[in-house]
Amino acid sequence: MSDSTQERPLSTRVTPRYGLFVAGCLLLVLASCTGNGSSPTTTLTVLYTNDEHGWMEGMEDSHGAANIYTLWQEQEGYKANGNFLLLSGGDNWTGPAVSTWTAGESMVDVMNAMHYDASAVGNHEFDFGLEALRQRTSEATYPYLSANIVNRASGEHASELGILPYTVKNVADLRIGIIGLTTIDTPGYTNPNHVQSLIFTDYESSLRKTVPAVQAEGVDLLFVISHVCVAELDPLIRSTQDLGIDMVGAGHCNELVAKRIGDTVLLGGGFHFTSYAKATFTFNTVENQRTGVHYTTNNNIDVDDDAGIAQMIEEWTAQTEEFLSEVIAHTDRSYPRGAGTLYQSIIDSWLWHDPSADVAITNAGGIRIDMPEGDIDLGTVVAMLPFDNTIFTLELSGATIASAIEQGNRPVVAGLQSRDGNWILARTGQPLNEDQRYRVLVNSFMYAGGDNYEVLAEEDPDGFDTGINYRQPFQDWLKAQNSDSDNPLEL
């Protein structure tokens, strides 16, 4: 069950609660009342997930939100309004159709029912635009936190989007300050157009600006939840030991981790509700001292569904099922998303859909799941290609096309073949001419500069947005193959 476990006392540290003089007086009074001078303690347990990506149903049966919620109750003794904090490192939605089709509304509803206490803002929280994010934060009964997201024009925190730099929670007779951080690479991992009005500031300077404001509210424990990878958090934690941060939560890189760096516990909950991390803090409420911590990582296991969460998921699934359950293809084998055949079939469908184009390029990061064996319904295609990206048509020189393929992150290309170190245009069999201009299809995420494709808009600032979702050609191509169990699809 437990992948790692550590239990050792943290260095004794008096928290900045109210002031030394008042605290000293309270100590004397309480000590006289207890007679023997004993020091009562309280415990607080943090359950931490991240990168849920809308997988409320689970990537496999009995491993979704309803199961992990049961596991928390049965294994951890979790009770809402008990001595627990349920926290997320962000990227709550974009994923399977039940979440993506509702722009994250269903996922917020489920997280509300699970009694999450706070979530960091992940890069994919911006996938459906700022208005959708504003709507989701207004629906959530928990705050979305990020201290390093500010408005480009004003330099102020993005509170108009419902994003707070921090929150303070009263749990287990303690005041807990929780600060959020969001990866500074967000413009490269969502549609850059959606975040043009925002700046993602440096992590350490954001913490040094925010921590004093949180401490001024008289907190006992200080936590940071973030959508930031462990590789970046490790040096950040080491350089901010003076700030007295008790716990930092990770996200973005889907890491499952529980370890101690100095006096700070670092947690990462894995991904997609397949696992979670836990830290239990003990605190001396008389001396206002943190006295120890126990931390572990745990996998989700096959337990009974929580009835209430399962019913909610079923209702959301039913709302989307009628439209998304249309079967459009059948295959007798699965195709992993890392396989060239699946990637190539998706991008080839763009040229099939628009034969006037010479070249099509997409980024592999826009393809999110494998194609499973069996019936392929529309919901599968939405989960595979879940973003609101549209297809742009551009006029680009051969030199720019080659540069985009070389500089961009994980390009998937149609209309060109690599031969002896040269790009050959499939349509003509001729080498790509550096000076000749070609008609090229790309997705809107790339055209906005995502995944290092800035060269596209630089070359053609007047690119035409067709308004066609980037999944539509593949969806139409699958239908056109007329596949079934007697005539299975072959990619």
CA separation (Å) from 66 to 45, 91, 253? 20, 19, 24
pLDDT band, residue 415 (cuts 50/70/90): very high
Any idea what the Cα angle at residue 35 is, between residues 33 and 37, rounded to 5°? 95
Task: Identify any residues that bridge with 299 across adjacent strands, giving them in sequence order.
Answer: 275
In 3-state terms, the chain is what percent helix, strand and coil (to 5)?
35, 30, 35
State how far the Cα of 124 lies from the Cα of 28, in Å rounded to an integer: 51
The residue that leads in pLDDT, 129 or 62, is: 129
Tally: H helices and E strands in the chain = 15, 26
Render pLDDT for 121-150 as a digit per residue (tens, 0 to 9): 999 999 899 999 999 999 999 999 999 999
What does the alpha-carbon distance between residue 59 and residue 71 come to, in Å, rounded to a whole number? Answer: 17
Domains by residue range for the chain, with CATH: 2-316 (3.60.21.10), 325-480 (3.90.780.10)
The crossing angle, in degrees rounded to 10, of helices 230-239 and 203-215 is 60
Q: Is the pLDDT of residue 90 over 60?
A: yes
pLDDT > 70? residue 5: no
Q: What is the pLDDT of residue 28?
A: 39
Contacts 24+ apart (CB under 8 A), 314-323: 316/56, 316/98, 316/102, 316/106, 316/109, 316/110, 317/57, 317/98, 319/102, 319/106, 320/97, 320/98, 320/101, 320/102, 320/379, 321/379, 323/378
Q: Are 305 and 67 in contact (CB under 8 A)?
A: yes
Instruction: Identify the three-state secondary structure at position 155.
Output: coil
pLDDT (0 to 100) of residue 489: 96
Q: What's the average model confidence in pLDDT over 437-454?
A: 95
Cβ–Cβ < 8 Å for 258, 266: yes
Query: In DSSP terms, which residues pair with 464 in a beta bridge?
Result: 393
Q: How far apart are the C-alpha atoms of 122 and 124, rounded to whole Å? A: 5
Q: Between the CA of residue 108 and those of 93, 117, 135, 139, what are the distances in Å? A: 8, 12, 10, 7
pLDDT at 4: 45
Token pair of 334 as six digits: 């699965």
Structure confidence at residue 62 (pLDDT): 81
Residue 39 pLDDT class (50, 70, 90 cuts): low
Q: Percentage of residues in the chain with pLDDT exceeding 90? A: 78
- Pick the range with the lowest mean pLDDT from 39-43, 346-350, 385-389: 39-43
Torsion over CA of 96, 102, 106 and 108, rounded to 10 degrees? 100
The helix (run of H) or strand (run of E) holding residue 239 is: helix 230-239
Mean pLDDT of 40-52: 96
Dihedral angle sign, alpha carbons of residues 219, 225, 230, 233: negative
Give strand pairing partners of 48: 87, 277
Instruction: Kindly state the DSSP code that residue 369 receives in the 8-state scheme.
Output: S
| Residue of 44, 128, 36, 132 whose CA lies nearest to 87 | 44
Q: Are 54 and 99 in contact (CB under 8 A)?
A: yes
